[in-house]
Structure 1
């Protein structure tokens, strides 16, 4: 499964702490994860504390792409 989470906090109000707001968003989202079906194509908007849409999470597939093969050095040249 490939899971993507994108959150844009560039428009956080000047009196708000961006790190604190992002932490709140992530805690809220993680706490509700059990309510979602994580099958391919699933997704939902992500909201900040003012309930403004600031991002989205999506499941883009049911399998992760294969890992690249490890580099195997060839025979030494004479």
Structure 2
């Protein structure tokens, strides 16, 4: 399996403080991953400090394997 994190750093929240905003996002999700099943298909939206959608993370099968339908934990 693979864990993919994609963040759009062109969002205005990043501005001149991209390292701080990205650090906040990484700390938040690192601390909350235990709430999610880390199995192929698990996916969640990522928000910036102003709660605007800036990306997502997903667990996918290894490259070359067929995936399952995305699932979101709540």
Taking only aligned residues, the RMSD between alpha carbons, in angstroms, comes to: 2.0
* Other-structure match for 1:5: 5
Question: TM-score by structure 1 length?
Answer: 0.72
Q: Counterparts of 2:5 and 2:14 in 1: how far apart (Å)? A: 24
Aligned to 1:41: 41
Q: Say whether 1:19 aligns with 2:19.
A: yes
Looking at structure 2, the residues matched to 39 and 4 of structure 1 have their Cα atoms a distance apart, in angstroms, of 12
Residue segments in structure 2 that go unaligned for 5+ positions in a row: 65-74
Give the whole-Å Cα distance in 2 for the aligned partners of 1:39 and 1:14: 30
Runs of 4+ in 1 over 3 A off after TM superposition: 13-16
Which of 1 and 2 has greater Rg? 1
TM-score by length of 2: 0.75
Q: CA deviation at 1:39?
A: 1.0
| Maintained 8 Å contact 1:5/1:58 | yes
